[in-house]
Structure 1
Amino acid sequence: MGDSRARGAVSALFAAAGAARAVYDGVRRTSPGGTALWERRNHSGRVVQLCAGPAVTVGTALAVACAPALPARTRAAGVLAVLAAGACGAYDDVVGRGDGRRGFRAHLDALRSGEVTTGTIKLFGIGAAGLVAGALLKERPADKVLAGAAIAGTAHAVNLLDVRPGRAAKAVLAVAVPGLLRGGAAGVVSAATMGATAAVLGEDLGERTMLGDCGAHALGAGLGVAVAAAGGRTRLVLHATAVAAAAAVGEAAGDGAVWRELAVLRAWDTLGRRPEPAGVFSRGATPVRPGVVKRP
């Protein structure tokens, strides 16, 4: 069984990479719905495309769906969580572009004021999908809830990192390594997220594409499923606590000076990236108006 799972992980990694690359190239070439739907200006004003989001979503889900070594319930949980998170993120990418709100607090504040934002829909949609996936993975009610919190929380945490080229993708690759080394079902799902991420990493770092909410949430959900599949209650509590703390710190710090002032974070963040234009740090991605953009 161990050899079968190891082969399954290798197969999932390459299947995810191949599928993600095929989807990325197809979307980039055809731009369904028109180029304006897919183009954004990033933090530095460069034009990037959202092709990576659908690519990693489909790549991860397809690899998990086709992995022969996975138990049926883990397979179903992985496909459901990744596709639901990717779909909710894509809805926010398209309908909520230019909204400017980030994090739980901003969307919940809007909800208390009677406004249902796309982020609110995403929050509850991914949360519900996480709970259903958690129920598929675990037997006891408390464990089902913890697994759901781990899946949804990881999706949110990865999305908070997607404000600079490659930042979220590099984090996904780093976090997936322990799951891959652990093996079993967690190793297969971790391998799928790694393969899909690796397929678009070069384009993300080169500022030709970005994960967007679609890709970041999908990859985070995949990582959450891997953790939930491997973890007992103690591991789930620790992971859910760590994710909640990371999200709170991320929302408070945003993309602030900590990323420049701490040498370790600065070195990690700039690894493989193009140099920043002078004076650029706090701007986020914005929609591109058709007909007025020259590609870099």
Structure 2
Amino acid sequence: MSWLRNAAGALTAAASTAGVLAARKHLPGAAKFDRTNHKGEQVTLLEGPAYTTGAIAGIAIGDVESPHVRAAALLATVGAGAFGAVDDLAERGSSKGLRGHIGALVRGELTTGALKVLGISAAGIASAALVLDKDPKTSVAGHLADIVVAGGVVAGSANLFNLLDLRPGRALKAAIGTGALQAGYAGLKGGDPNAGLLSATAGAIAGSWKSDLSSRSMLGDSGANAAGALLGVHTICTAPRWVRAAALAGIVGLTLASEKVSFTKVIESTPVLRDVDAWGRGVPRHSAGS
């Protein structure tokens, strides 16, 4: 009964995420995650590790089509969350943005951002290699290209979600929208054998929603990267080659655009996007827990 496993996975993910956030004042080193948000309010980046923990728990329980898919989802989520946490806690270097980090790497400077890019890319390619079976009609070179493209979708999704984590709830809402599109696509194909990955995502979102929307916490690099990577794995497990290629092209296009255009300015100047972006932020900070 896959629906029962997925429901259990979602509930476990939500409870695990909320549990870590609720216990944050009692966790050793929690103060290292304290930051100041765009309004000058103190928030904690512990939501990132909490989200990652919840997603891992949900993946472990939810229904997927093979052990390889579960392993790939765990690898991508753990890798993205861990490398994101390193950047959150030990950010080094003045370079900003993907172009800045790559530029620093070319100059021989390994920033924590560049380390994150390399680490998440490696995890993305490894997860793609786990789930993509070689088509007998495809050459070895073609199969390797498929793996690189699919790995790019996973790593690129992780980075794109991180670019959205600039306002309360924005990245979480993007995850909801992306998950809904993926569920709809899978439904049109007759079902989703990897719905457990979306259940894990839904549970982690539910567990962090109140704290994030009330500006008491934020996903940070760790949580946003983990959220994007997990949805990226679901994409490459569900979509055919041409959709994966189109997804990567879209991700690359948006990432390059972010170097020139402020997503926040675009959202705030577009009424529909502005309303969706602002929805739910009326939760008072004091009501989101200690």
Q: TM-score, normalised by structure 1?
A: 0.85
What does 1:117-132 correspond to in 2, within 5 Å?
117-132=111-126
> Who is 1:251 aligned against?
259
Question: Structure 1 CA distance, aligned partners of 2:213 and 2:202?
Answer: 16
* 1:224 partnered with 2:195: no
The answer for the alignment partner of 2:200 in structure 1 is: 192
Q: Aligned to 2:279, which of 249, 271, 275?
A: 271
Aligned to 2:100: 106
Matched position secondary structure for 1:116: coil
Whether the 8 Å contact between 1:53 and 1:215 is mirrored in structure 2 is: yes
Q: For residues 274 and 252 of structure 1, do their structure 2 counterparts lie closer, same or farther at Cα, with a shift above 3 Å needed?
A: farther
Paired residues of 2:55 and 2:200 also in contact (CA < 8 A): yes
Q: 2: distance between equivalents of 1:80 and 1:161?
A: 23
Partner residue, 1:287: none
Q: Is the 8 A contact 1:180 1:191 kept in 2?
A: no
Q: Is the 8 A contact 2:84 2:222 kept in 1?
A: yes
Q: Secondary structure at the match of 1:48?
A: strand
Q: Which stretch shifts more, 252-261 or 191-200?
A: 252-261
Name whichever of 6-15 and 103-112 sits farther off: 6-15
Secondary structure of the residue aligned to 2:150 is helix
CA deviations over 1:7-64 (Å, ceiling 9, x no partner): 33323222211121122222x13132152x0210001100001121011101111211
Q: Following TM superposition, by how much is the alpha carbon of 1:74 offset from its aligned partner in structure 2, in angstroms?
A: 0.3
Judge conservation of contact 1:13–1:195 (CA < 8 Å) in 2: yes
Q: Is the 8 A contact 2:36 2:42 kept in 1?
A: yes
Q: What CA distance in whole angstroms lies between the structure 1 residues aligned with 2:176 and 2:165?
A: 14
Query: Which residue in the other structure is 1:202 paired with?
Result: 210
Q: Comparing 233-242 with 125-134, which one deviates more in the overlay?
A: 233-242
Does the CA-based 8 Å contact 1:89-1:214 persist in structure 2? yes
Q: Find runs of 4+ consecutive structure 1 residues off by over 4 angstroms.
A: none
The root-mean-square deviation of aligned C-alpha atoms, in Å, is 1.9
Write the letter of the residue equivalent to 2:117.
L
Aligned match for 1:137, one of 110, 117, 131: 131
- Determine the structure 2 residue equivalent to 1:179: 182
Cα deviations by residue, 1:147-190 (Å, 9 ceiling, x for unpaired): 21111111011000011111111101111113334242332111
Contact 1:206 1:274 survives alignment (8 Å): yes
Equivalent residue for 2:72, pick from 50, 68, 77: 77
SS of structure 1 residue aligned to 2:209? helix
Question: Contact 2:10–2:203 (CA<8 Å) still a contact in 1?
Answer: yes
Secondary structure at 1:43 match in 2: coil
Alignment check: 8 A CA contact 2:5 2:61 kept:
no
Q: Structure 2 CA distance, aligned partners of 1:100 and 1:77?
A: 33
Residue 23 of structure 1: aligned partner? 20
| Corresponding residue of 2:47 | 52
Aligned to 1:238: 246
- The one-letter code matched in structure 2 to 1:107 is H
The number of residue pairs the alignment matches comes to 270
Length-normalised TM-score, structure 2:
0.87
Q: What does the per-residue CA deviation read over 1:235-275, in whole Å, with 9 as the maximum and x for residues that have no partner?
A: 11111111112222233213553222111221122111249
Aligned equivalents of 1:274, 1:10: Cα separation in 2: 29
Unaligned runs of 5+ in 2: 135-142, 284-289
2: CA distance, partners of 1:225 / 1:69: 12
Take 1:186 and 1:65, find their aligned partners in 2: how far apart are those partners? 12
Q: Which amino acid letter does the alignment assign opposite residue 234 of structure 1?
A: W
Percent identity over paired residues: 36
- Corresponding position of 2:28: 32
Cα distance in 2 for residues equivalent to 1:171 and 1:102 = 22
Q: CA distance change for structure 1 residues 161 and 34 in 2, over 3 Å: closer, same or farther? A: closer
Of 27, 34, 43, the match for 2:38: 43
Q: CA–CA distance in 2 between the matches of 1:12 and 1:177?
A: 17
Q: 1:167 corresponds to which letter in structure 2?
A: R
Deviation at 1:230, TM superposition (A): 0.5
